[in-house]
Amino acid sequence: MTPGTASRLALPAFMLLALTACATAVPDKARPLAYVAGGADSPAVRYAPLIIPEQARQRYNRVGTAAARRNAQGEAEIFIDSASPTYYFQQREFRAGLSRYTNLIYRVHFERVPYLHLTSGKNGGLFIIVTLDPAQRPLLITTVHTCGCYLAFLPTSFMPDSAFPDGWNKDRQRVFGIDLPGQVPFSQPLSGQQRLVITVKDATHRVTGAHVADLEGLRNGYRLIDAAMAPMAQLKRLPFEDASISFYHENGPAKGYVRNAAKPFELLLMSWWVFDARVGVDKEYGPAAETGTVFYTSLRPWKRKASDMWPFADFLAFWGWNLP
């Protein structure tokens, strides 16, 4: 083999190696991003939603972590750090009908909803609540923004027929202009590889879909990003300089509302007819006597207390669910 022949053969070989390297690197970056709860196996991790945001290249669509800093005026400011994702978690038991149920409550936040959307503003979030039946099977998925808006119920295939609201369509439902499934099927018996998948709309972070998928298949189709799991109470003691600060206002008329989370368009267009100057502002989830806010899910002022999501059994009954 002459030197010229060797060099002619070496060039295609080098190009082949380079193309092979690119072929293995590009698909990983090209795969859509999905957030998954990190940590040791437990019901809280197993049933945590895998969240797939549209247009994840935009920072405002990424699940973030609540944090504090000083702004240009030297004042304390709450913001969402989109560089690191966190699922804030709380577990609660409640009794409905003749049984005791468990709520696995996941709270995530985003940097902002950009202008000119109705819900434009900073620090908005989303609740995804997985209700387990007495046999610890996922019975119902409830999604709602952390202001109480855009409530959606997603019953699973473990929900008995007698528990559905009258006239429920198990095929499809339309929730504030978005089509969602009327039921989310889980395989029976339950598999430890099943994961609840929630898709989230670009910019507004509306829930656009829910289904169950195998974890291994998700790993092949998506670039999974581990989200930290933190107790919900951590939101009330965010590190700030040499002390801590709450994610929420702690006193005054804004007590219980997320700091730096004003919603100017909702204030302008909605507050006058729902009789709430803070309509659309994200808030703490808890008993109104402690938080200072009612986590209402109906915009009708006379149904504010009845639609409060904290007393969960009463909340479900208000919306027509009849758990056994």
Give domain status of residue 24, yes or no.
Answer: no
Residue 166's φ and ψ, nearest 5 degrees, are -55, 135
Q: Quick check: is 7 in a domain? A: no
The whole-angstrom separation of Cα 291 and Cα 186 is 35
Q: What is the mean pLDDT of residues 75-104?
A: 97
Is 252 a domain residue?
no
Q: How far apart are CA 37 and CA 188, in angstroms?
A: 23
Question: pLDDT tens, 294-324?
Answer: 999 999 999 999 999 999 999 999 999 999 9
User: What is the average pLDDT across 68-78?
Assistant: 92
Cα–Cα dist 50/59, whole Å: 18
pLDDT at 192: 76
For residue range 20-45, list pLDDT tens digits in order.
433 344 356 678 999 999 888 889 99
Domain enclosing residue 57, as ranges: 30-237+310-318
Q: Indicate the length of the chain as a whole number.
A: 324
Lowest mean pLDDT among 41-45, 144-148, 287-291: 41-45
The answer to whether 284 and 298 are in contact (CB under 8 A) is: no
Domain contains 128:
yes
Please give the mean pLDDT across all residues of the chain.
91
Confidence (pTM):
0.90
| pLDDT for 187 | 84
The average pLDDT across 85-91 equals 98
Mean pLDDT of all residues in 252-257: 96
In a domain, residue 84? The reply is yes
Average pLDDT of the residues in 90-105 = 97
23 occurs within a structural domain: no
- Residue-level pLDDT at 30: 73
Q: How far apart are CA 11 and CA 238, in angstroms?
A: 57
Tell me what pLDDT residue 268 has: 96
Return the pLDDT at 190. 75
> Is the pLDDT assigned to residue 16 strictly greater than 50?
no
Among 18-27, 58-67, 94-103, the range scoring the smallest mean pLDDT is: 18-27
pLDDT at 86 over 80: yes
Question: What pLDDT score does 28 carry?
Answer: 63
Residue 27 confidence (pLDDT): 52
Side-chain-side CA neighbours of 33 within 13 Å: the count stands at 18
Give the whole-number percent of the chain exceeding pLDDT 90. Answer: 84
Interval 99-129: pLDDT, tens: 999 999 999 999 999 999 999 999 999 999 9
The answer to whether residue 53 is domain-embedded is: yes
Residue with tokens 């559905």: 164
Total domains in the chain come to: 1
The answer to whether residues 108 and 126 touch, using CB atoms and an 8 Å cutoff, is yes
221 within a domain of the structure (yes/no): yes
284 Cβ contact list (under 8 Å, min separation 6): 235, 247, 248, 256, 257, 258, 291, 292, 293
Q: What is the mean pLDDT of residues 82-91?
A: 97
User: Can you give the pLDDT at residue 15?
Assistant: 42
pLDDT tens digits, residue range 181-209?
999 999 877 777 889 999 999 999 999 99
